[in-house]
Structure 1
Amino acid sequence: MNKNVFVGVDIGGTTVKLAFIDEIGTIQHKWEIKTAREEAGKYILRDVSESILTQAKELGFKKSQLLAVGVGAPGYIDVENGVIIEAVNLGWKNYPIQKELEDRLQLPAVIDNDANVAAAGEKWKGAGNGADNLLAITLGTGVGGGVIAGGEIVHGEIGMAGEIGHITSVKSGGASCNCGKTGCLETVASATGIARLAMESVHTKPQGYLKRILDEHGNVSAKDVFDGANQGDELSLSIVRDSTEHLGFAMANLANALNPEIIVIGGGVSRAGTLLVNYIRQSFDKYAIPLIAKSTTIKIATLGNDAGVIGAAWLAKQKSAH
């Protein structure tokens, strides 16, 4: 390989995705390794570093061709100092990830929250189309978010900007959230939240498509709800309307404050595609300032599982440019 590359690393609870990505954002090589979570995650960075060096050697990269490494990781991160304050599912607490990686690889390293990194990936090479003002929302097990303003990731005072999933959506009587509050957006708009709404609804109205699914499988998933909605099932449609009403309302308020050019929606729930966007759009247009509604595009993310490594490489590129 005769190209200079950035190393993109996306650390998840089960696997670590890695890639060598060139200066224009094209993946030259990607692979993944298992996340070694034993003993409070103390072997994760050792494995990551060894894997990077082994792959580089096998592919014929010289050490000088690896320019910098960018990392996306779950949890609360002190971006300024490259320290993970807490990543519960990895066992890390006050973990100096940047320093350890720089020591092991002898390369500049930069670290950010995985949702921010995915937002950067979509901005650089995905649905964001290079937009400098972008909001990214990930609808998965939880609801994650990243804010890019003026071409930079917004971190806020203690690095917690973009916690979109914890905007309060149900002011009283809402379901408990992992963050310790109740009624968060995550409890009604994540895959888990939509499934919960479905299970509650199907018990009060035990008929139709969702009841059949419940009888066959013993539970109902968010995918089942969207499948039912696509088939015109009334209960499924009412759950989709309820969930997207909350989502569109939160997104409109964020857009009124931040005025993004594009809002990108990713994560497992985004596979619902046009149906999801159309319902969000109705709610969004109702609550956004008309001029903002008119100038904001809502799109489904396009990078899938590559968003993290591409965004991590973008971070590394920004770091080496400064």
Structure 2
Amino acid sequence: MPTVTRDIYLGTDSGATTSKTGGVFANGEPVSTQLRQSSTNSQAGTAAVVAGWIEGAEGFLKDNGLSWDRVAAAGLALPGPYQRYGVLEKSSNLPDSFIGWNFHADYSAAIAKAAGREIPLYVGNDGDFGGVGEAARVRGDSKATVLLLAPGSGLGAAYVDANGLPLSGDHLAGMEGGHMPIPRHLLGHGLDEVPAFRCGCGRDWGCIEAYTTISGLAQFLEYFLPKYPDHELAKSDETLRSKGFSLRGRAQKGDELALKIFDIQARALGIHVANLSMALDPGIVVIGGGLVDPDSTTPEFRERYLGGIRAAAQPYLFPKQRAELQIVPATLGELSQSIGAALVALFSSKV
């Protein structure tokens, strides 16, 4: 029988409603840059979720003229926290019935059934794996370490070492950098007395996540709208949440209030870059999330946002960091976590 070359590494990025599948060749190059999505069906239970992951994997292979025979290993990115490796703790985005679910064992068994053989599976936090994907793009042939900060509904954070693997920590909660407190007195713009915003994690000390992501926009509006009584949003009957979702579009059109809020978010994120650089000393910082998405924001807005991050970080960096640290936008978009999961499978297989 001819020898089959097993040179494909699959990656699945699982959200509560949608899962994305990607893959890389043995040289680390993506199999495809086309986004392949399938329904997660978390409301239907864990078995339905696993079936969705398999459906996505098989669809990805078929789309690209591949088969399970060529798959060497697989990776799965899933939001934590975890009780232990591959076992879920309570998640803010999944039903309580998922607490204690050994998703590693269940997905491994499903892959083995689909492929007709056991295939190594590596799992981890979606933010960590997104960092791996972005790091592989920006570092080129260098061994630069990479810090990823990706504001979305929450603040994804990852630190990727010189070997391309993420810092996961002893309790698989390494780089949960969104839940460190922000030094609020440095935010400026008359916000010295701004309260400690509420955070979905339950902490009350002013998590950086609440000052840099969608989750905090309603609280920014609650603070600012009384100061802008003539603003359209101050007169609107919409919920604060709905008003918050409108801010990115308004900022693209030059809305003063929206730009002010995003300027503060940029400053907060820049201060956080400096904080994390004190501890981790990365060579490159990658900024992800919807505020640097070319399909959703203008070049002028992206440069203003990234410029605000750089300007806020600079004074608090060491001199060598001020001269050499790169702060750049993410490039993989929604592919980052599935590609990162595939790369973790590739790199881990070689360790």
TM-score by length of 2: 0.80
Q: Deviations over 1:54-77 (max 9, x none)?
A: 654676534320111111011213
> C-alpha distance in 2, partners of 1:273/1:215?
29
Give the superposition deviation at 1:301. Answer: 0.5
Q: Percent identity?
A: 23
> C-alpha distance in 2, partners of 1:190/1:89?
16
Following TM superposition, the consecutive aligned residue runs of length 4 or more in structure 1 with deviations greater than 6 angstroms are none
Report if aligned partners of 2:248, 2:291 keep a CA contact under 8 Å in 1: no
Q: Give the aligned partner of residue 311 of structure 1.
A: 340
Give the superposition deviation at 1:40. Answer: 3.9
Report if aligned partners of 2:288, 2:329 keep a CA contact under 8 Å in 1: yes
Give the match's secondary structure for 2:99. Answer: strand
Matched, 1:11 2:4: no
Q: Give the aligned partner of residue 200 of structure 1.
A: 223
Give the superposition deviation at 1:260. Answer: 0.5
In proportion to residue count, which structure has more strand?
1
- Look up the equivalent residue of 2:281 and give its one-letter code: N
> C-alpha distance in 2, partners of 1:220/1:61?
45
Give the match's secondary structure for 1:220. Answer: helix
Q: Deviations over 1:284-306 (max 9, x none)?
A: 01222222122211111010011
After superposition, the Cα gap between the structure-2 partners of 1:101 and 1:132, relative to the gap in structure 1 and judged at 3 Å, is farther
Q: Deviations over 1:252-295 (max 9, x none)?
A: 01112111011111112333421111011111012222221222
> C-alpha distance in 2, partners of 1:56/1:239?
43
2:176 to 163, 178, 188: 163
Give the superposition deviation at 1:35. Answer: 0.9
TM-score by length of 1: 0.87
Q: Give the aligned partner of residue 108 of structure 1.
A: 120
Q: Give the aligned partner of residue 231 of structure 1.
A: 254
Q: Give the aligned partner of residue 49 of structure 1.
A: 54
After superposition, the Cα gap between the structure-2 partners of 1:169 and 1:59, relative to the gap in structure 1 and judged at 3 Å, is closer
Alignment of 1:207-286 (within 5 A): 207=230, 211-215=231-235, 218=238, 219-221=242-244, 224=247, 227-228=250-251, 231=254, 233=256, 235-271=257-293, 272-286=301-315
Report if aligned partners of 1:194, 1:243 keep a CA contact under 8 Å in 2: no
Give the match's secondary structure for 1:251. Answer: helix
Bigger shift: 89-98 or 257-266? Answer: 89-98
For structure 1, list consecutive stretches of 5 or more residues without a partner in the other structure.
none
After superposition, the Cα gap between the structure-2 partners of 1:53 and 1:220, relative to the gap in structure 1 and judged at 3 Å, is closer
> C-alpha distance in 2, partners of 1:249/1:178?
21
After superposition, the Cα gap between the structure-2 partners of 1:194 and 1:30, relative to the gap in structure 1 and judged at 3 Å, is closer
RMSD: 2.8
After superposition, the Cα gap between the structure-2 partners of 1:200 and 1:224, relative to the gap in structure 1 and judged at 3 Å, is same
After superposition, the Cα gap between the structure-2 partners of 1:101 and 1:185, relative to the gap in structure 1 and judged at 3 Å, is same
- Look up the equivalent residue of 1:134 and give its one-letter code: V
Report if aligned partners of 1:77, 1:112 keep a CA contact under 8 Å in 2: no
Matched, 1:87 2:91: yes
Q: Deviations over 1:106-142 (max 9, x none)?
A: 21100010000110010113x4446541110110011
Give the match's secondary structure for 1:7. Answer: strand
Q: Deviations over 1:196-244 (max 9, x none)?
A: 313421222224xxx13554683533662674487372x4444333322
> C-alpha distance in 2, partners of 1:88/1:232?
32
Report if aligned partners of 1:4, 1:65 keep a CA contact under 8 Å in 2: yes
After superposition, the Cα gap between the structure-2 partners of 1:55 and 1:290, relative to the gap in structure 1 and judged at 3 Å, is closer
> C-alpha distance in 2, partners of 1:300/1:13?
26
Bigger shift: 249-258 or 262-271? Answer: 262-271
- Look up the equivalent residue of 2:146 and give its one-letter code: L
Give the superposition deviation at 1:311. Answer: 0.3
> C-alpha distance in 2, partners of 1:3/1:107?
11
After superposition, the Cα gap between the structure-2 partners of 1:55 and 1:285, relative to the gap in structure 1 and judged at 3 Å, is closer
Q: Give the aligned partner of residue 120 of structure 1.
A: 132
Give the match's secondary structure for 2:273. Answer: helix
Give the match's secondary structure for 1:87. Answer: coil
Report if aligned partners of 1:191, 1:269 keep a CA contact under 8 Å in 2: no
Q: Give the aligned partner of residue 173 of structure 1.
A: 195
Give the superposition deviation at 1:315. Answer: 0.8
Q: Give the aligned partner of residue 31 of structure 1.
A: 36
> C-alpha distance in 1, partners of 2:255/2:321?
31
Give the match's secondary structure for 2:182. Answer: coil
Report if aligned partners of 1:70, 1:315 keep a CA contact under 8 Å in 2: yes
